[in-house]
Structure 1
Amino acid sequence: MTTDQTLRPVTVTLTSGPAGPGSVDDFELFYARRALSRFRTRLGRQGLLELLAEDIKEGNAFLRESARASDGSFTAGTTVLTTHGLTSSEFLAWMDKAFAADENALLEGHPEHFVMAPEADGSFHVVENIGPHVCSFHMGGWGTDAMAWAAGADELLPESDFPHKMSSNLFLADGTVVGRALTQFGDTADGFTASLTVYVPTACPGEVLEHHLRHYAVEFRNWILAAAAARA
């Protein structure tokens, strides 16, 4: 081969063998999820926290510095999912139960979920990736009128179309607000639409917002399918 020749792309097609449905990608995803579930179960929450301690330290330092440099300003992005065959009320009822007492169901929503647990103060503790960074933060309010921002958010949709709304600050253990979340749900003729907005400090690189929009798509798609399976 001469140096000026262009390499042709290589493709692989499954021609025969497995009797079950699905592509090679589907098979790999199944085995990856099974392996991940095994490690989560064996390590447990405390084991995961100890394993990720240095990553969390670096990730939280990144968020704290990004929040400081942004001086209270955030950049928003929204992922929209359309669901058929399940109502928003059915999904949100499943979500309420999962957030109250089923950490495993929440963890299974995304490969980069490490801790998702309610705290005694009413906040919700999350350890997950924010972009490439593993971070430990809490969801909920922080301080007087902490949630007033949601009422004036540009991303707020009409109550008539999206009556189910949840907003939250994302804050570190020291109270530093490092993000926000606004989720809105509205029924359609045969299902519902989910509008999922995340706010990251404006100093964050663009990839942080982009990856969290992808994160939303993965976790909420999986949670919606889990809610549908639980109903059956």
Structure 2
Amino acid sequence: MIFSKLAAPLAAILAVATAQRPATPQSTEVIDGIKFIKSGPRVLLPKDEYELKFARDALNRLKTRLGPDGLLDLLQPDIQEADAFWHDIIDKSSSSLYVSADGRVIGFFPNMTALDFAAWSQSPLADKANNAANPEHYFKRTEEVSPGVLRAEILEGWGGVTTHFTVPDYTTPPDKEKHGMLRELPEFPIQAAGSKVLADGTDAVFGVLHISVRDVPGEEHGEEQDGIEVYASVWYGDAIDDDHLEAERQHIVVEIINMSMQAQKDIENGDFKPPTAQ
């Protein structure tokens, strides 16, 4: 009798609650062969897209809290492994044969030219943006040693090899007598290059970095907005394997996209005054 008296009010409450609950969209995703039906978020995305954002937030927080010196201490075992790795590549490579990991990206930005990006990339804002440029980036500290020449200290994972190194001679334009392996690339009016030197006290040169930037007419790609192209190459001795180079190619593409997007944001919000606006 009690249950029968409660049944009607309870049914009414449940009906009202059901009517008030907003319908949520669903999406289906297969992960490692297992099917999942998801609902809840207002914006439904693949699981990895959610996780990537969370990973970026967590990594940036850890990198910021630890700081450059804390990261050097924490990652010292990995750095020592990297030193051994690169010395082995140097020892096994021919003295005159080099191979490169290359990445090229064209982006169409409303407020940025090739000259603007090149100037931003050599400003303190580029060092500040380094943590978010790639999950394998830890820190970059840059100083000008003479007009047109920068020195950078970097802790970065290249192809999974966590390397502490300097670029003591990042020069605009490149010193192509010193770095004879560099491509000429006459279509790129803005170029810079420098040696990658291990910071283990040996002064061993294990690679050469070459970055080139140019403006690209939008109509060449069916776009109304003109774009910029960034072409980055890292040259190594020929003992390096292609699996490592492929990991670096992927790294380079991620880095170019993230850094150029940050440069655009810094121009938009007024943190960086581009040369073309002066």
TM-score under structure 1 normalisation? 0.83
Deviation at 1:127, TM superposition (A): 1.1
Q: Which runs of 5+ in 2 are unaligned?
A: 1-30, 218-225, 269-278
- Determine if contact 1:182/1:196 at 8 Å carries over to the other structure: yes
**RMSD (Å), alpha carbons:** 2.5
Task: Give the 3-state SS of the residue equivalent to 1:147 in structure 2.
Answer: coil
- Determine if contact 2:153/2:165 at 8 Å carries over to the other structure: yes
- Determine if contact 1:200/1:209 at 8 Å carries over to the other structure: no
Task: Give the structure 2 partner of residue 3 of structure 1.
Answer: none
Task: Give the structure 2 partner of residue 165 of structure 1.
Answer: 191
Task: Give the 3-state SS of the residue equivalent to 1:123 in structure 2.
Answer: strand
**Pairs within 5 Å for 1:51-200:** 51-72=74-95, 73-85=97-109, 86-97=112-123, 100=124, 103-118=127-142, 122-141=150-169, 147-149=175-177, 152-153=180-181, 155-158=183-186, 161-173=187-199, 174-189=202-217, 190-200=226-236
What is the CA–CA distance in structure 2 between the aligned matches of 1:107 and 1:83, rounded to whole Å?
Answer: 21
Deviations 1:7-60 (A, max 9, x none): x96254665321146443221111000010111122121111111111101101
What is the CA–CA distance in structure 1 between the aligned matches of 2:178 and 2:102, rounded to whole Å?
Answer: 14
Question: Paired residue for 1:211, among 238, 243, 247?
Answer: 247
What is the CA–CA distance in structure 1 between the aligned matches of 2:178 and 2:106, rounded to whole Å?
Answer: 23
What is the CA–CA distance in structure 1 between the aligned matches of 2:104 and 2:34, rounded to whole Å?
Answer: 32
Task: Give the 3-state SS of the residue equivalent to 2:129 in structure 1.
Answer: helix
Task: Give the 3-state SS of the residue equivalent to 1:186 in structure 2.
Answer: strand
Higher relative contact order (CA 8 A, sep 6+): 1
Alpha-carbon spacing, 1:131–1:120, altered in 2? closer, same or farther (3 Å): same
TM-score under structure 2 normalisation? 0.70
Bigger mean CA offset, 30-39 vs 131-140? 131-140
Alpha-carbon spacing, 1:22–1:225, altered in 2? closer, same or farther (3 Å): farther
Deviations 1:184-231 (A, max 9, x none): 111012111111111122112221211111111111110011111222
Alpha-carbon spacing, 1:112–1:9, altered in 2? closer, same or farther (3 Å): closer
Task: Give the 3-state SS of the residue equivalent to 2:164 in structure 1.
Answer: strand
Q: Which runs of 5+ in 1 are unaligned?
A: 1-7
Matched, 1:29 2:57: no
What is the CA–CA distance in structure 1 between the aligned matches of 2:178 and 2:44, rounded to whole Å?
Answer: 44
What amino acid maps onto 1:33 in structure 2? Answer: R
Alpha-carbon spacing, 1:120–1:183, altered in 2? closer, same or farther (3 Å): closer
Deviations 1:133-152 (A, max 9, x none): 2111111339xxx9334775
Alpha-carbon spacing, 1:119–1:227, altered in 2? closer, same or farther (3 Å): closer
Task: Give the structure 2 partner of residue 4 of structure 1.
Answer: none
What is the CA–CA distance in structure 2 between the aligned matches of 1:56 and 1:154, rounded to whole Å?
Answer: 27
Task: Give the 3-state SS of the residue equivalent to 1:108 in structure 2.
Answer: helix
What is the CA–CA distance in structure 1 between the aligned matches of 2:177 and 2:198, rounded to whole Å?
Answer: 18
- Determine if contact 2:212/2:230 at 8 Å carries over to the other structure: yes
**Which protein is bigger by CA-based radius of gyration?**
2
What amino acid maps onto 1:186 in structure 2? Answer: R
- Determine if contact 1:128/1:134 at 8 Å carries over to the other structure: yes
Deviations 1:136-190 (A, max 9, x none): 1111339xxx9334775463211xx310101111112322110011111110121
Question: Paired residue for 2:39, among 11, 16, 29?
Answer: 16
What is the CA–CA distance in structure 1 between the aligned matches of 2:142 and 2:65, rounded to whole Å?
Answer: 21
Deviation at 1:96, TM superposition (A): 1.9
- Determine if contact 1:150/1:156 at 8 Å carries over to the other structure: no
What is the CA–CA distance in structure 1 between the aligned matches of 2:204 and 2:89, rounded to whole Å?
Answer: 11
What amino acid maps onto 2:103 in structure 1? Answer: T
Bigger mean CA offset, 212-221 vs 131-140? 131-140
Task: Give the total of aligned pairs.
Answer: 218
What is the CA–CA distance in structure 2 between the aligned matches of 1:13 and 1:150, rounded to whole Å?
Answer: 56
What amino acid maps onto 1:201 in structure 2? Answer: G
